[in-house]
């Protein structure tokens, strides 16, 4: 196993450079979870830390949930034999930290992200995901470029901003999971439009136009995808996936075919190209099926309930 010294991304031994930021990888020997759990709490020697298997953040050895993404630290990752890793089921009322603020995840069927914003911290979001807020939590609007293009493409051209101090809570309109993605500096993530719930103000938000007419018409994403970029400071991005969410890391040149409506997020290095599949039968013609060919290197996230829910 190798690790990126810059963003802590883990990679296979065969890889030399990080698929996220291109930094040369270094060898690591991850400590088994069982061994960590068995370690006596008052052992002498260097301070033991637990690395979160989902976001790679380091945590105190007594922590039950990751401080950065709230993933349970005492439960092994669920990985299918085909290589998909299930997004961690965040415990009800688990808490995560970003900047000087906290986020508590409440509920398990349609989870709520409740943010306690510290002074100086802020989060941005699409206005229709707002569930409740304190009377005194200030709301504002984030300036965006290309407002006309976004409006024409059916994307929100106003992104709302909640500033601390105060509490504000967010949820979506269907059964699903919160996917917490702490972004390390220098990361770029593409997200299906309308799938993001909130992001901290350290993350810069833009959009990327989907290339190719076939991808626009049959890709199930519309014309644009949201792009989230961190420059110098880390940030917190929370998505809402419909149904269950699974992630897979593709090696360079490795491809997989995905139902376009199931696509949730990907590293910007992953390319997407729609491939039509013709299914015909005799006199009645047939049906065509379009699948998105995702090619690595990088992460791909999908949601199992993939109907496209329109939002206004």
Partner 1 sequence: MQQPSLSPQRSYTCPWCTTTSDGTRLACPGCGVSINVRENVTESGWIELPGRKDMAKIQFGDSYCQIEGELVPVADMSLAATDSVYFAHHVLLWMDTQVRVSAMSLKGAWKRMLAGMPLIMTQAQGPGHIAFSRDASGELIALPLQPGQAIDVREHLFLVATSDVTYDWFQTGVWFTTRSGDDTETHYPLGMFMDRFTAPQKPGLLLLHAGGNAFIRTLAPMQSILVKPTALLFKDPTVQMQLHFEYPRTNSWSPWMSWSHRQLWLRLFGPGRVAVQSAYEPIEDNGRTISRHSNATNRQW
Asked, as a colleague might, if the bond just before 165 is cis with ω within 30 of 0, I would say yes
- Gap between the terminal Cα atoms of the chain: 45
Closest CA to 239 of 259, 263, 211, 218: 263
- Kindly state the tokens that stand for 163: 């500033």
Q: According to CB under 8 A, which one of 63, 146, 243, 271 is a site residue for partner 1? A: 243
Per rule CB under 8 A, is residue 279 in the interface with partner 1? Answer: yes
Closest CB to partner 1 among 93 and 289? 289
The overall longest dimension of the chain from CA atoms, in Å, is 77
Residue the block writes with tokens 């829910």? 309
| Integer Cα distance of 184 and 140 in angstroms | 26
Piece of 45-53, 153-161, 224-232, 239-247 that binds partner 1 (CB under 8 A): 239-247
Per rule CB under 8 A, is residue 76 in the interface with partner 1? Answer: no
Site residues (CB under 8 A) for partner 1, limited to 106-165: 109
Q: According to CB under 8 A, which one of 251, 271, 304, 311 is a site residue for partner 1? A: 304
Per rule CB under 8 A, is residue 310 in the interface with partner 1? Answer: no
Angle at 273 between CA 269 and CA 278, to 5 degrees: 155
Site residues (CB under 8 A) for partner 1, limited to 180-219: none
Q: According to CB under 8 A, which one of 207, 224, 228, 242 is a site residue for partner 1? A: 242
Piece of 46-54, 80-88, 116-124, 195-203 that binds partner 1 (CB under 8 A): 80-88
Burial of 232 (0-12, 13-18, 19+ CB in 10 A): exposed
Per rule CB under 8 A, is residue 277 in the interface with partner 1? Answer: yes
Residues in the chain: 312
Which residues of the chain form contacts with partner 1 (CB under 8 A)? 78, 80-82, 84, 86, 109, 175-177, 242-244, 246, 255-259, 262, 277, 279-284, 286-287, 289, 291, 293, 302, 304-307
């Amino acid at each position: 196993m190798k690790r990126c010294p810059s963003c802590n991304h883990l990679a296979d031994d065969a890889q030399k450079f990080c698929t996220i930021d291109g930094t040369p990888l270094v060898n690591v020997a991850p400590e088994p979870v069982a061994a960590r759990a068995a370690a006596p709490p008052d052992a002498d020697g260097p301070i033991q830390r637990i690395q979160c298997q989902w976001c790679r953040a380091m945590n105190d050895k007594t922590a039950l949930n990751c401080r950065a993404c709230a993933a349970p630290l005492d439960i092994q990752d669920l990985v299918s034999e085909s290589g998909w890793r299930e997004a961690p089921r965040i415990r009800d009322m688990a808490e995560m930290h970003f900047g000087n603020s906290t986020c508590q995840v409440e509920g398990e069927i349609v989870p709520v992200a409740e943010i306690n914003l510290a002074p100086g911290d802020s989060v941005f979001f699409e206005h229709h995901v707002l569930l409740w807020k304190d009377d005194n939590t200030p709301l504002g609007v984030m300036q965006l470029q290309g407002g006309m293009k976004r409006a024409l493409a059916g994307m929100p051209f106003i992104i709302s901003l909640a500033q601390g101090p105060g509490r504000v809570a967010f949820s979506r309109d269907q059964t699903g999971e919160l996917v917490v993605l702490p972004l390390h500096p220098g990361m770029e993530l593409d997200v299906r439009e309308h799938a993001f719930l909130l992001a901290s103000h350290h993350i810069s938000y833009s959009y990327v136009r989907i290339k190719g007419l076939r991808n626009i018409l049959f890709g199930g994403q519309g014309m644009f995808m949201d792009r989230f970029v961190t420059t110098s400071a880390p940030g917190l991005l929370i998505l809402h996936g419909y149904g269950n969410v699974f992630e897979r890391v593709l090696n360079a040149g490795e491809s997989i075919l995905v139902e376009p409506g199931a696509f949730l997020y990907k590293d910007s290095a992953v390319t997407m190209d729609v491939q039509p599949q013709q299914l015909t039968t005799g006199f009645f013609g047939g049906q065509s099926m379009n699948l998105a060919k995702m090619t690595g290197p990088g992460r791909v996230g999908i949601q199992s309930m993939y109907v496209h829910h329109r939002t206004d």
